Chains A and B, each alone.
Chain A
Amino acid sequence: MNAPSKFRYISTDRRVREDRRFVVGKGRYIADLAAEGMLHVALVASQHAAANIKSIDASKALAMPGVHAVIDGAELAAASEPLMNGLDTPNVRRHPLAVGATRYMGEWVAAVVADTRALAEDAAELVEVEYEALPFVIDAEEAYTPASTPVHPAHGSNVLLDRVFNWGDIDEHFAASERQLSLRVTWGRNSTVPIETFGVLAQWDPWGQVLDVRASIQMPKYADQIARALRLPMNGVRVHYDVDVGGSYGVKRGIKHSVLVGYLARKLGRPVRLIEDRLENMRSGDAHGPERIFDIDVAFNSDGVINSMKMRALDNAGAYAGRAPFQLGKPIGAIVGPYRIKSVRYHAVSVTTNKAVEEAVRGFGQSPTNYAIETMVDRVAEAVGLDKVEVRRRNLIRKEEFPYLIPSGTRYDSGDYHAVIDKTLAHVGWRELVAERDALRARGLLAGIGIAACLEPSGGNSSFEPLLNPKNTTTTWMESCRLNVDALGTVNVAIHTTSSGQGHETLVATAVGEALEIDPDKIRVTRPDSLSSLPGNSPVGSRMAIMLGGAAFHAAQKLKAKIVAIAARRLGCAPEAAVYREGAVFHGDREVSWDDIVTIAHRHFHELPEGAEPGLESTYIMQTPTGLELPTADGRVQMYPCHSFEFHVVLVVIDPDLGKPELRRYVIGHDCGTVINPHIVKGMTLGGIAHGIGATLLEEFVYDAEGQMMSQSFMDYLMPSAHEVPRVEIVHHCTPSPLTVFGQKGSGESGYLGAPAAVSGAINDATRPLGVRFNKLPIRVGALADAVADAREQRKDSAP
Chain B
Amino acid sequence: MKVSLTVNGETREIDAEPRLTLLDALRDHLRLTGCHTGCEHGVCGACTVLIDGAPARACLLFAVQADGLEITTIEGLAPAPGELSLVQDAFCETHAMQCGYCTPGMVLTAHALLRDNPAPTRDAIVDAISGNICRCTGYGQIVEAIELAARRLAGSNAPAKGDAA
The residues of A with any CB-CB pair to B shorter than 8 Å are 15-16, 18-27, 29, 31-32, 118, 192-197, 244-249, 275, 277-278, 500-503, 679-680, 682-684, 686-691, 713-715, 719-723, 725, 727-728, 751
Contact = CB atoms under 8 A, between A and B. Distances in A.
A278 B32 CA distance: 21
Interface residues of B, number: 58
Given A679-B95, A686-B140, A721-B131, A195 B27 contact: no
Contact of B133 (A245, A683, A721): A721
Contacts of A21: 100
B94 A196 contact: no
27 contacts: A24-B74, A25-B32, A25-B33, A25-B75, A25-B104, A27-B103, A31-B36, A195-B44, A196-B37, A196-B101, A246-B100, A247-B101, A680-B95, A680-B98, A683-B140, A683-B141, A686-B137, A687-B136, A690-B139, A691-B138, A714-B44, A714-B133, A719-B135, A722-B130, A723-B127, A727-B140, A728-B140
Interface stretch (B50-58, B62-70, B85-93, B154-162): B85-93
B33 A751 contact: no
Interface of B: 17, 19, 27, 32-41, 43-44, 46, 73-75, 77-78, 84, 88-89, 91-104, 107, 122, 125-127, 129-143
A275 B133 CA distance: 20
Given A29-B101, A247-B101, A278 B74 contact: no
A195 B33 contact: no
A723 B130 contact: yes
B125 to A, nearest CB: 8
B92 A23 contact: yes
Chain A interface SS verdict (over half)? loop
Contacts of B78: 24
A138 B77 CA distance: 50
Given A19-B92, A722-B142, 11 more contacts: A19-B95, A24-B88, A25-B32, A27-B101, A192-B135, A195-B46, A684-B98, A687-B98, A689-B138, A722-B129, A727-B143
Given A24-B74, A719-B135, A244 B92 contact: no
Contact of B138 (A18, A25, A686): A686
A246 B99 contact: yes
B98 A503 contact: yes
Contacts of B100: 18-19, 21-23, 27, 244, 246, 501
B91 A19 contact: yes
A687 B101 contact: no
Contacts of B37: 31, 196-197, 275
A615 B35 CA distance: 43
B126 A722 contact: yes
B115 to A, nearest CB: 17
B138 A195 contact: no
Contacts of A197: 37
Contacts of B43: 713-715
B130 to A, nearest CB: 5
A26 B131 CA distance: 22
Most buried by A among B17, B95, B133, B138: B138
A721 B109 CA distance: 14
A203 B43 CA distance: 33
Nearest to A727: B140
Contacts of B126: 722-723
A247 B99 contact: yes
